[in-house]
Amino acid sequence: MNLFVRLYKVILPQAFPLMLPPLSGVYVIIIKSTAVLSVVGITELTRQAEVSILRFPKDILFIYGLAAAIYFAYCYPVLKLADWLERRTTTTRTS
Amino acid sequence: MQLDHYLTTASAVLPFLLAGFFETFIVSFIGGFLGSILGALIGIIRSRKPRVVTVLLGLYIHVSCSALCFLFRHTALRHQGAAMVFLHRRMRCARVLHFELYCRNCSSGHQRRPFRSGRGRNRVRHEPLCSIV
Q: Give contacts of A34 with chain B, Cβ < 8 Å.
A: 24, 27-28, 31
| pLDDT value at A46 more than 80 | yes
Count interface pairs A-B at CB distance under 8 A.
72
To probe the interface with B, which of A14, A31, A39, A42 has the most B CB atoms within 10 Å?
A31
Pinpoint the alpha helices (H) of chain A. Answer: 3-6, 12-33, 45-55, 60-94
A95: closest CA of chain B, how far (Å) = 28
Interface residues of B toward A, Cβ cutoff 8 Å, are: 6, 9-10, 12-14, 16-21, 23-25, 27-28, 31-32, 35-36, 44
pLDDT of A17 higher than 70: yes
At residue B103, φ and ψ (nearest 5 deg) are -130, -165
- What is the structure's pLDDT at B99? 39
Domain ranges of chain A: 21-94
Which CA distances in Å does B118 have to B111, B123, B125? 23, 4, 9
* Residue of B13, B24, B35 with shortest CB distance to A34: B24
Write down the pLDDT at residue B127: 55
How far apart CA A27 and CA A32 sit, in angstroms, is: 9
Q: Are B126 and B117 a contacting pair, CB within 8 Å?
A: yes
Residues A59-83, mean pLDDT to the nearest whole number = 92
- Is B116 in a helix, a strand, or coil? strand
The tens digit of pLDDT for each residue in B50-94 reads 888 878 877 877 777 777 666 666 665 555 544 454 555 555 444
**Around Cβ A77, how many Cβ atoms within 10 Å?**
10
Residues 6+ positions from B9 with CB-CB distance below 8 Å: A56, A59, A62, A63
Mean pLDDT in residue range A36-48: 85
pLDDT, tens digit, 9 for 90 and up, residues B18-53: 999 999 999 999 988 998 888 888 888 877 778 888
In this prediction, residues B102-129 reach a mean pLDDT of 53
pLDDT at residue B100, as a whole number = 39
